[in-house]
Amino acid sequence: MKFPHRLDLPLFRRRDLGVAALALGTAATLGPDVSAAQGVVERLGESLKGELKDLKDDVRAEVAKLLAMEVYVYGFPLVITDLTRQVETATPTAGEYAAPIDQFARMRGYVPWDWKNVVRVSFNSLWSFAFLDLQEPKVVSFPDGKGIPTAFRLLNFWTDVVGTGGSRTPDRNAGDYLVVGPGWNGAVPPNIKEVIRCSTRYGVFIVEMAAAGPQEFPKIHPLQDQLKITPLSAWGKPYTPPAEVPVDPNADPTTTPYDQVRLMPGELYFRYLAMLLKDNPPYPADTSRLEWLRKLGIEPGKELDPSKLDPAVRKGINAAPAEVWMKFATGPFTMNAPNGWINMLTIGRFGADYQTRAYVAYMGLGAGLAEDIIYPTAFVDADGNALDAAHNYVVHFDKAFMALPGNGVWSLSAYRENFYVYNSLQRYGLPPGNPKYNADGSLDLYVQAKSPGRDKEANWLPLPPSGMFNLTIRIYNPTREALDPACKFPPIRKV
C-alpha cells in the first residue's frame, strides 16, 4: 500500500541490491534495473536456504547489514518504548513528568519546550500518562470531562493502540477499565466498563485533556486528580499507591530515550531487543523477522554475546543503525506529499507495516488512532522544496478547514528534527483560540523566524533562527472529510 496509509522508506540503495543479488546468485532474477528495495529482503529470505557462514566474508558482512537493517526497523518501536518506560519510571514519587510504574504523571501546564523524553508532545492539551506492569491486571479509572474534550489510549509496547475512550465515544468515556496482559483469563469484577487486552507485559496509558489556554488549567487539574490505577487484587478495597518506590539502578534518566537508542551500537541494540522479546511476544505475522534475527545469531529471550558472533556478521550488525537513522531523516523528502503534507492514516494499527510503525515511533511515539487524531506533517513546501528557516512562509486555512476537527480542537507546531526550539514568545503551537481570523472566517498563519510585524504577531508561529524544520498539524476528532485519503491540507507558501 502506498501513501498516505504507510511510509515507504527506501532502506536499500541500488548498490546494496547488487551485492545482495550476487551473494545469492539471483542477479538475473532481480535484473539490472530493479528499483528501490521493495520486497528485496523477502527474496533474500527465500533464497538464503543455508547460513550466512556459507558466504564470502565481504558479502557476508553486506548481507548481514541488509538483514540487520530490516530487523532493526522491526524492533525499533519496542526498544524505544521500553527505554522510555525506564526513563519515565526512574523516580521514587509521582510528579508532572515522571512517575513510578503503575502511577500517573500529571502535567499541570503545557509541556516545557525543552522536555525531550518523548518526541513531539502537543500544546493542545494537559497530558497525563502511566506505564502499567500487567503481570497483575490493573483497573484504570477515567473521569467525566464535564464538557472538556478528553481522550485516552492504551498502547502495547509494539505501539499498537489496543484501547481508546473519552468524550468522542460516550459509551467508552467515564468509568473503570480493566487492563490485562498476555494470557490473562480471570474473573472480571462487576461494574467494569470494559476489559482492555494488552499483548505485551507492559502498556502505556496516555490521557489528553484539551486546554485552549492557561485559563482552563484550573478546571482540568481536578479531572487529572481523578485518574487512578488500582491493582486488581486491591479493587473494591481502600487503596493508596506507595508514596515512595525504589528506583531501578540500571535506568539512565540523564539521557533521553531517543538519544539512548540513537547512540546504541548495533550489537547492544540487538542484545537489548533479544531480551525484550521474552516479555513482549511478537505477532504471528512476524515469523520472517524472527527468522532473520536467528540468521544473525540473535535468539529471542536469550542473552546475546557479541564476542561469539561471526566477525563479518558483527561488522554488518554494527553498520546497520547509522543507515536506518539516515533513512529516518531523509525518507520523508522522497515521499508523495500533496501541498507538502504527509498524512499517515494507519497509525496505531500497523499490522506488518514495519517501516511506518518504526517511523512513527521515531517521530511521534505514543500517537493515536486516526478516529481520535491525525497528524499531517510537512518537511517540504508546496513546491517540494525543503522547509528552511531562512525563508518566510504563510499557511492559509480556509473556512472549510475549520470544520475538519469534529470538536474544534486543532493546532500547528514547528520542530527541528522531532523537538521544539526555544523562541522568545514561548509559543510552540497555534491553537484556534489565539490567532486573529479574517473577515470570511479563514486564517493566515505566518511561519518564520522573525516577527511579521506587531499587527500580525497573534498569527505568528516562530521558527528556529536557522536551518531545516518541519511542521505538524494536529486535528482532533477528525471528520470523515479529514480522514479521506484524498483530503488536501493547506499549501505552505514561501513568501
Segments in 25-56 forming alpha helices (H): 27-30, 40-47
Classify domain 338-494 at the CATH topology level. Jelly Rolls (2.60.120)
- Distance, in Å, from the CA atom of 393 to the CA atom of 395, rounded to the nearest integer, reads 7
Task: Tell me the pLDDT of the chain (495 aa) as tens digits.
Answer: 333 345 555 554 433 433 333 333 333 222 333 333 445 555 555 445 557 777 777 888 899 999 999 999 999 999 999 999 999 999 999 999 999 999 999 999 999 999 999 999 999 899 999 999 999 999 999 999 999 999 999 999 999 999 999 999 999 999 999 999 999 999 999 999 999 999 999 999 999 999 989 999 999 999 999 999 999 999 999 999 999 999 999 999 999 999 999 999 999 999 999 999 999 999 999 999 999 999 999 999 999 999 999 999 999 999 999 999 999 999 999 888 999 999 999 999 999 999 999 999 999 999 999 999 999 999 999 999 999 999 999 999 999 999 999 999 999 999 999 999 999 999 999 976 779 999 999 999 999 999 999 999 999 999 999 999 999 999 999 999 999 999 999 999 999
Q: Report the number of secondary-structure helices (H) and strands (E) in the chain.
A: 11, 18
- Distance, in Å, from the CA atom of 336 to the CA atom of 357, rounded to the nearest integer, reads 18
Strands (E), 336-424: 341-342, 373-374, 377-378, 393-397, 410-415
Contact by Cβ (8 Å): 409, 145: no
Q: Which CATH superfamily is domain 91-234 in?
A: Domain of unknown function DUF1254 (2.60.40.1610)
Q: Where in the chain is the domain with CATH 2.60.40.1610?
A: 91-234
Segments in 192-265 forming alpha helices (H): 217-225, 257-262
Phi-psi region of 429 (alpha: psi -120 to 50; beta: other; left: phi over 0): beta
Closest listed residue to residue 184, CA positions, set 113, 233, 223: 233
Q: Where in the chain is the domain with CATH 2.60.120.600?
A: 338-494
